Structure 1
Amino acid sequence: MGIYHRPGKLKDALAVLATTGARPVAGCTDVFAATEAQDLRGDVLDVTAIEGLRGIFETASGWRIGAATTWRDIVHARLPRAFDMLQQAACEVGGAQVQNAGTVAGNICNASPAADGMPPLLTLDAQVELVSERGERVVDLAQFVTGPRETVLQSDELVSAVLIPSKSVHGHSRFLKLGARKHLVISIAMVAVRLAVEDGKITDAAICVGACGPVAKRASALETALIGTSAEGADQLVSPAHLKDVLAPISDVRGDAAYREAAALELVQRAIADVLEQVP
């Protein structure tokens, strides 16, 4: 069994990473579930005590979600309507115990194809702020997660925040998830939709599908097709062709590939209709 580190300063945490190669953890809701031994092997770096790493704040350039921000923090935050989909997803990340412990950064670093946080964050054009003793870099979330359980995070780096640009914090949004039951379930398919409407026409569209491929992906063809169209009946414009570059589902015990494709199409249509019902 290794050493448990729980520094209060970011610089101390980065020094631990640089010298020990410790595993960063926060809520451990994914780490413990994937651990087959009775304890975690090697050094562990608990980031939950680091100053400034928890909370969601508006900045001059958008919004900053600290890496140790929990899903329960997201649920209770006062946020613009564009964040509705992220708060809805937060309500479905496990049960209350998981939401109280699990973090936004942990969800994306775990890089599960069925990570509930990915579609809404991608739909908000999220970026990931990474820090190490070598410096800081910012990576688009779409490039941060490269495959199932795979990211570009280096062994000496920590995720310090998830950044949402101001340009993406407008419009209304919706998150929908299909599982074998209502709660405490891994997604069969899920979608996040954000739409802005002016004078009855869609002026901006961001749509993402998750759990239907190795990584969650934006439906760029559908977004392009919707922009400039009448908001009335826009959900009926969605066709399988709009999602062909997004869907690459597998068949498993939760559902076969054909079912996932049909479910994703239906969820997108429903989410668009739900968003448009919110528009004044």
Structure 2
Amino acid sequence: MSHPAKYLRPPDLQQAIQALADEDLTIAAGCTDLFPATDRKSLQGPVLDITAIPALRGIRQDDEGTQIGATTTWRDIATADLPPSLFGLQLAAREVGALQIQNRGTIAGNLCNASPAADGVPPLLTLDAEVGLCSIRGRRQIPLAQFITGPRQTERHHDELVTHIFIPKSALQGAGSFVKLGARKYLVISIVMAATRIQVADGLILSAAISVGSCGPVATRLPALEAHLTGRRVSDASIPPALVAETLHPIDDIRATAAYRIDAATVLLQRMVGGLRASSGLVA
């Protein structure tokens, strides 16, 4: 007779990290990635459910920046009152599956799943996001750009729990945007994603943060393109295809060819810059 798998749902963070230190556990929150990854009717092995820990959910803003708890759902993010710099993250939140998925899926789960097509990663990269981790050995906070190391691979140690995502105050300038290209409008894995956070004053681009996803093993910033745009007038802003292509490493797969992905990323960014001109009143 088989026995049910061990299931833990601690009410506080200290109990959770102690459980992780004691044994190898599968961490569960929204389970929107976890359940599709198993071919059985239930999760196998001991499970640590972190959804009963109040400190892990919610969005907090202070003088240092913005902190998003690990179990904060995409719906929480989409409906929150956030500054324009986080609009790109909110647009991405509204693209994460259907409303049922948005109500369950969590921001930390999206990052720890480490899919090259994870919707939350490109906008978070434009926000210089950092990932907070905790274990009985202590706490640490590392840049998101270093946290995801490859498809389904992260820097999280087996005894660590992601507690929050931190966005520094310095990255809360400007306005964010996000565009996702897929084979259809909804419920689709993206062919290409693009996110921007651009600060404009008097028609001049003061700073630009640009990221592209689904065009390589991990989403990535485009520093050469950011430098190209910074200091230019919005009316003169352009997206040179060579500056897009030099950073991306897409593959050919069932959804698109590598060449198409680079072309599509360029077009999406061109449209986003075009929208910037329109919002600045520079085009009809």
> What is the alpha-carbon distance in structure 2 between the residues aligned to residue 147 and residue 239 of structure 1?
27
> What is the alpha-carbon distance in structure 2 between the residues aligned to residue 277 and residue 183 of structure 1?
26
Instruction: Note the 1:87-106 alignment, pairs <5 A.
Output: 87-106=90-109
Q: Which amino acid aligns with 2:264?
A: A
> What is the alpha-carbon distance in structure 2 between the residues aligned to residue 229 and residue 205 of structure 1?
10
Which one of the candidate residues 206, 213, 216 is aligned to 2:216?
A: 213
Post-superposition offset of 1:257: 1.0
> What is the alpha-carbon distance in structure 2 between the residues aligned to residue 278 and residue 3 of structure 1?
54
Q: Which residue of 2 aligns with 1:195?
A: 198
> What is the alpha-carbon distance in structure 2 between the residues aligned to residue 233 and residue 161 of structure 1?
39
> What is the alpha-carbon distance in structure 1 between the residues aligned to residue 91 and residue 170 of structure 2?
21
Report if aligned partners of 1:209, 1:246 keep a CA contact under 8 Å in 2: no
Post-superposition offset of 1:76: 0.8
Post-superposition offset of 1:243: 1.4
Q: Which residue of 2 aligns with 1:180?
A: 183
> What is the alpha-carbon distance in structure 1 between the residues aligned to residue 188 and residue 265 of structure 2?
17
TM-score (norm 2): 0.96
Q: Which amino acid aligns with 2:89?
A: L
* More displaced stretch, 6-15 vs 252-261: 252-261
Is 1:273 the counterpart of 2:284? The answer is no
> What is the alpha-carbon distance in structure 1 between the residues aligned to residue 177 and residue 277 of structure 2?
10
Which one of the candidate residues 130, 134, 139 is aligned to 1:136?
A: 139
Q: Which residue of 1 aligns with 2:251?
A: 250
* More displaced stretch, 35-44 vs 210-219: 35-44
Q: What root-mean-square deviation, in Å, do the aligned CA atoms of Structure 1 and Structure 2 show?
A: 1.1
Q: Which residue of 2 aligns with 1:204?
A: 207
Q: Which amino acid aligns with 1:210?
A: G
Post-superposition offset of 1:241: 1.4
Summarize the Cα distance change of 1:44–1:133 in structure 2 as closer, same or farther, 3 Å threshold.
Answer: same
CA-to-partner distance for each residue in 1:184-222, whole Å, 9 max, x for gaps? 000000100111011221001000000000000000000
Q: Which residue of 2 aligns with 1:260?
A: 261
Report if aligned partners of 1:3, 1:44 keep a CA contact under 8 Å in 2: yes
Matched length: 278
Identify unmatched segments of 5+ residues in structure 2.
none
Is 1:59 the counterpart of 2:70? The answer is no
Post-superposition offset of 1:20: 1.8
> What is the alpha-carbon distance in structure 2 between the residues aligned to residue 279 and residue 150 of structure 1?
40
Report if aligned partners of 2:88, 2:177 keep a CA contact under 8 Å in 1: yes
Q: Which amino acid aligns with 2:150?
A: G
| Partner-residue secondary structure (3-state), 1:115 | coil
Summarize the Cα distance change of 1:169–1:62 in structure 2 as closer, same or farther, 3 Å threshold.
Answer: same
TM-score (norm 1): 0.97
Report if aligned partners of 2:245, 2:262 keep a CA contact under 8 Å in 1: no
Is 1:37 the counterpart of 2:40? The answer is yes
CA-to-partner distance for each residue in 1:148-194, whole Å, 9 max, x for gaps? 00000000000000000001111112100000000100000010011
Report if aligned partners of 1:205, 1:223 keep a CA contact under 8 Å in 2: yes
> What is the alpha-carbon distance in structure 1 between the residues aligned to residue 277 and residue 189 of structure 2?
27
> What is the alpha-carbon distance in structure 1 between the residues aligned to residue 252 and residue 119 of structure 2?
19
* More displaced stretch, 119-128 vs 50-59: 50-59
Post-superposition offset of 1:46: 0.7
CA-to-partner distance for each residue in 1:131-160, whole Å, 9 max, x for gaps? 000000000000000000000000000000
Is 1:86 the counterpart of 2:89? The answer is yes
Post-superposition offset of 1:276: 4.0
> What is the alpha-carbon distance in structure 1 between the residues aligned to residue 148 and residue 57 of structure 2?
22
> What is the alpha-carbon distance in structure 1 between the residues aligned to residue 245 and residue 49 of structure 2?
41
Post-superposition offset of 1:31: 0.6
> What is the alpha-carbon distance in structure 1 between the residues aligned to residue 25 and residue 253 of structure 2?
34
| Partner-residue secondary structure (3-state), 1:125 | coil
Report if aligned partners of 1:172, 1:278 keep a CA contact under 8 Å in 2: no
> What is the alpha-carbon distance in structure 2 between the residues aligned to residue 196 and residue 156 of structure 1?
39
Report if aligned partners of 2:203, 2:280 keep a CA contact under 8 Å in 1: no
> What is the alpha-carbon distance in structure 2 between the residues aligned to residue 279 and residue 133 of structure 1?
50
| Partner-residue secondary structure (3-state), 2:253 | coil
> What is the alpha-carbon distance in structure 1 between the residues aligned to residue 197 and residue 30 of structure 2?
29
Post-superposition offset of 1:233: 3.8
Q: Which amino acid aligns with 2:122?
A: P
